[in-house]
Amino acid sequence: MTVIGVLALQGDFREHLNALSGLGVKTRAVRTVEELSAVDALIIPGGESSVIDRLTRSYGLAEPIKERLAAGMPAYGSCAGMIMLADRLENPAVSSAGLKQQTLGGIDMLVRRNAFGRQVDSFEYPLEFAGHSLDAVFIRAPEALEVGPDVQVLSTVPAPESRAQGRIVAVRQGNLLATSFHPEVTGSRAIHEFFINITQGDA
């Protein structure tokens, strides 16, 4: 049986573990390289992307995750996880020591952090995703400003009239999936089911 790990260093990893368990999936919290090696796929949860970046490097997980992603491991990033899976950041956080935030990469996209505003600007929006209608929850959400030719745009929300297309909030590139919203905090499991299908080669 496929084992899906959830990076459990910071953020709402428990909600993802619960969502997967509710779908009958074998799961594992991932905090060490050894735990990473025991999973077939990985979810990077919402949280604080700059903290997740710092902790993955502190725990020695950043390079092993990058190697697994490059080798084809399926991964799904929600909100902060979307930022972590981006190849490029428009506005990386900068530490007090002057160090710029890094990502794990994997998806050919340019992402803007906090693109929809601060915590008080959180909102819900009805989306169509892979044939499902769902209410997406956006909390300090990022957006993909640009995507490469191999990236499939799965969902958008309306953009200001000055922009030609909608704001990109869900993408896929091969075995990698990312959303700027938080499906783990709603009753819908459409996103998790879609990712499970990716891990099984069915999507």
53 phi, psi to nearest 5 deg: -60, -50
Q: Establish whether 184 is a catalytic residue.
A: yes
Q: Establish whether 192 is a catalytic residue.
A: no
For residue 104, which amino acid is it? L
Question: Rounded to an integer, what distance in angstroms lies between the CA atom of residue 88 and that of residue 176?
Answer: 15
Catalytic residue among 15, 143, 184, 192: 184
Catalytic residue among 15, 79, 143, 192: 79
Question: Rounded to an integer, what distance in angstroms lies between the CA atom of residue 59 and that of residue 54?
Answer: 9
Catalytic residue among 15, 16, 143, 182: 182
Which residues are catalytic, by number?
A: 79, 182, 184
